[in-house]
Amino acid sequence: MRLILLGAPGAGKGTQAAFICKQFGIPQISTGDMLRAAIKAGTPLGLAAKQVMDSGALVSDDIIIGLVKERITQPDCAKGFLFDGFPRTIPQADAMKAAGVKLDYVLEIDVPFEAIIERMSGRRVHVASGRTYHVKYNPPKAEGKDDETGEELIQREDDKEETVRKRLEVYQAQTRPLVDYYSQWAATGDANAPKYRRIEGMGSVDEITRKALAALSS
């Protein structure tokens, strides 16, 4: 299984990716998590990406495309993979097409913008694994601690309300066009086109997981 999870910041891509990846036994390729790991490790990539990410803008296509192309050659990707937060520009999608990366599905999670600010302000993450919680909607077993490792959870730098608004603008301008890009490609009946599925992302985490898995078997 090779798929893209598409959706606005805070739509629940990371949350659902964990369940989908477990179900299909595939790795989650989150460009956001990869960039945050680089920041934490203090690599040149991390140093270059930090300011851009904290401002809510996008890291350059060249850097991201290079990262992903390298990642998908690794042995754990032989059975497939899930792209979370990638592609998020037309050039990134074109680069995958040009490289002949065949995808089975594009799954869009649709959440109204009004719900997103609340989701982001309550989000807590375990940086090392990318596991995501919400203080109200998806709380960890012990407050402020990761369920599996017991390590500290943090709040993301870019989850400040002002930055979230900027990220939503960037989504509308640069990533939302991928909805048409992939749904129109699927409609052409091209055998290389991934199937396009859209689900509503409002409801409990379990409910959305059920809808996602149903969409991926249709």
64 is a contact residue toward ligand AP5 (CB under 6 A): yes
59 is a contact residue toward ligand AP5 (CB under 6 A): yes
DSSP-assigned states of every residue in 23-46: HHT--EEEHHHHHHHHHHHT-HHH
- Among residues 124, 131, 167, 197, the one annotated as catalytic is 167
Residues 68-107 that bind ligand AP5 (CB under 6 A): 85-86, 88, 92
CB of 51 to ligand AP5, least distance (A): 10
DSSP assignment letter at 174: I
The three-state secondary structure class of 162 is helix
Residue nearest to Zn ion (CB): 14
* 176 is an active site residue: no
- The answer to whether 17 and 209 are in contact (CB under 8 A) is no
14 is a contact residue toward Zn ion (CB under 5 A): yes
d(CA 154, CA 217): 35
CB of 193 to ligand AP5, least distance (A): 21
Strands (E), 173-218: 195-200
12 assigned binding-site residue: yes
d(CA 73, CA 194): 20
The pair phi, psi for residue 131, each rounded to 5°, is -65, 140
d(CA 93, CA 88): 7
Which of these segments, 12-20, 70-78, 176-184, 185-193, binds ligand AP5 (CB under 6 A)?
12-20
Q: Which residues bind ligand AP5 (CB under 6 A)?
A: 7, 9-15, 31-32, 35, 52-53, 56-59, 64, 85-86, 88, 92, 119, 122-123, 132-134, 137-138, 158, 167, 203-205, 208
The annotation places the binding site at 10-15, 31, 36, 57-59, 85-88, 92, 123, 132-133, 156, 167, 203
